[in-house]
């Protein structure tokens, strides 16, 4: 039988996996895998498990929120020989899963992992040691993703983020910075920025571009200049959501394989919904097709459907 390691976060989302664990393991065994199971004990330990044992298995499956997926891939990125990855989304927003059309139904997602096809997926490198799967962001609302208590997220789900974001409106901070990308640069005051490889951010479509390829070696950057008054920011964001293709002098949208964000003060960053540290210089690089993901249908076909 083929070796598999299955890591899951029992507290993610509304703890739905507890009632489906037997069915999920049955799907894996029925497909010819001999799964070893690890239940996460604390934040970040999935990365340690992935780094230590990932080289010994053919398929590494994880279930949890975006943070759990980030932790697993961060560990796998440190390996020379990387196993295929499967993902069963069980978090509150599941942005990456939404982008790839991975089913929210855990048993259906498990079936896709063992019967679907394998595709290369780009991964982001942040600085020298950190990685992200689909987003690196700073500024307005980003703290909400890692400061919202897990119990509230479990009860309210995606609504928890919306409520906390509304609270954050009254405490916006502006950063003076220098931005560089493959074929351009700019200076100015910015209140928000994100580098993404996704069609969904915070559960919303529109903030990120529709025409996203998950394996083209390019990220999509969106940077919002500081508005004249805090009350203008919701209008800018609404414009992005409702009219994403419309030009806006307060918004910079670019595609690039690399980004550098430099400031005099430390800027706190969020990587896949988790705190990624505070730095004065953030160097972000796209590692093209760094990992192989087993899912269905093919990501490129999903992009065509999304764009249509």
What per-residue string of b and e applies to 289-303 under the rule 16 or more CB within 10 Å gives b? Answer: bbbebbbbeebeebb
Domain with residue 145: its CATH number is: 2.60.200.40
Question: Looking at residue 227, what is its pLDDT?
Answer: 82
Q: 189, 150, 181: which is closest to 274 by C-alpha? A: 150
Looking at the fold, whether 142 and 220 belong to one and the same domain comes out as yes
Q: Catalytic residue, from 274, 285, 298, 304: name it.
A: 274
User: 3-class SS at 166?
Assistant: helix
The Cα 286–Cα 233 span in angstroms is 29
In terms of residues, how long is the chain? 308
Looking at the fold, whether 77 and 205 belong to one and the same domain comes out as no
Looking at the fold, whether 149 and 268 belong to one and the same domain comes out as yes
Question: Looking at residue 285, what is its pLDDT?
Answer: 98
**Domain total in the chain:** 2
Question: Looking at residue 97, what is its pLDDT?
Answer: 87
Looking at the fold, whether 38 and 69 belong to one and the same domain comes out as yes
Query: Worst-scoring range by mean pLDDT, 6-10, 186-190, 214-218, 295-299?
Result: 295-299
pLDDT per position as a tens digit, 144-153: 444 444 443 3
Alpha helices (H) in 60-157, listed in sequence order = 66-76, 95-100, 106-115, 144-147, 150-156
Enumerate residues 6+ apart whose C-beta is below 8 A from 235: none
Q: How confident is the model at residue 16 (pLDDT cuts 50, 70, 90)?
A: confident
Quick one: which H or E segment has residue 148? none
Looking at the fold, whether 109 and 32 belong to one and the same domain comes out as yes
Looking at the fold, whether 34 and 181 belong to one and the same domain comes out as no
Looking at the fold, whether 213 and 157 belong to one and the same domain comes out as yes
Q: 121, 100, 130, 117: which is closest to 288 by C-alpha? A: 121
Question: Looking at residue 209, what is its pLDDT?
Answer: 58
71 backbone dihedrals φ, ψ, rounded to 5°: -60, -45
pLDDT per position as a tens digit, 151-170: 433 443 444 444 444 444 55
Looking at the fold, whether 274 and 295 belong to one and the same domain comes out as no
Q: 30, 24, 23: which is closest to 6 by C-alpha? A: 24
Question: Looking at residue 112, what is its pLDDT?
Answer: 95
Question: Looking at residue 205, what is its pLDDT?
Answer: 53
Looking at the fold, whether 189 and 261 belong to one and the same domain comes out as yes
Whether 84 is catalytic is no
Domain with residue 84: its CATH number is: 3.40.50.10330
Q: At residue 63, does pLDDT exceed 60?
A: yes
Q: At residue 308, does pLDDT exceed 50?
A: no
Question: Looking at residue 240, what is its pLDDT?
Answer: 64
Looking at the fold, whether 111 and 167 belong to one and the same domain comes out as no
Looking at the fold, whether 135 and 232 belong to one and the same domain comes out as yes
pLDDT per position as a tens digit, 255-303: 999 999 999 999 999 898 888 999 999 999 999 999 999 987 655 544 4
Query: Worst-scoring range by mean pLDDT, 19-28, 54-63, 193-202?
Result: 193-202
pTM: predicted TM-score of the whole model, two decimal places = 0.84
Q: At residue 23, does pLDDT exceed 90?
A: yes
Looking at the fold, whether 204 and 221 belong to one and the same domain comes out as yes
| Average pLDDT estimate for 88-112 | 89
**Domain assignment of residue 182, given as a range:** 131-287
């Amino acid at each position: 039988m083929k070796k598999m390691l299955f890591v899951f976060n029992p507290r993610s989302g509304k703890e739905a996996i507890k009632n489906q664990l037997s069915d999920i393991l049955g799907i894996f065994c029925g497909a010819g895998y001999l799964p070893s199971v690890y239940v996460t004990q604390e934040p970040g330990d999935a990365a340690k498990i992935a780094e230590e044992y990932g080289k010994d298995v053919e398929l590494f499956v994880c279930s949890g929120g975006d943070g759990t997926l980030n932790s697993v891939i961060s560990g796998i990125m440190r390996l020379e020989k990387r196993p295929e990855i499967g993902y069963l989304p069980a978090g509150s927003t599941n942005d990456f899963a939404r982008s790839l059309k991975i089913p929210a139904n855990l048993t259906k997602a498990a079936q896709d992992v063992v019967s679907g096809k394998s595709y290369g997926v780009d991964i982001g490198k942040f600085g020298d040691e950190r990685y992200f799967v689909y987003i690196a962001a700073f500024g307005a609302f980003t703290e909400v993703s890692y400061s919202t208590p897990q119990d509230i997220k479990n009860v309210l789900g995606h609504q928890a983020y919306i409520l906390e974001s509304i609270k954050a409106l009254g405490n916006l901070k502006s950063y003076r910075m220098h931005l560089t990308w493959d074929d351009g640069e700019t200076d100015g005051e910015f209140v928000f920025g994100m580098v993404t490889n996704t069609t969904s951010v915070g559960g919303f479509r529109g903030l990120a571009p529709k025409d996203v390829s998950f394996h083209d070696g390019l990220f999509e950057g969106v940077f919002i200049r500081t508005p004249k008054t805090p009350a203008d920011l919701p209008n800018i964001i609404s414009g992005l959501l409702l009219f994403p293709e419309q030009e806006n002098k307060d918004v910079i949208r670019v595609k690039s394989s690399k980004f550098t964000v430099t400031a005099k003060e430390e800027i706190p960053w969020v990587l896949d919904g988790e705190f990624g540290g505070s730095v004065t210089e953030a160097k972000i690089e796209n590692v093209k097709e760094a990992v192989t993901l087993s899912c269905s249908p093919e990501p490129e076909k999903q992009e065509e459907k999304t764009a249509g």
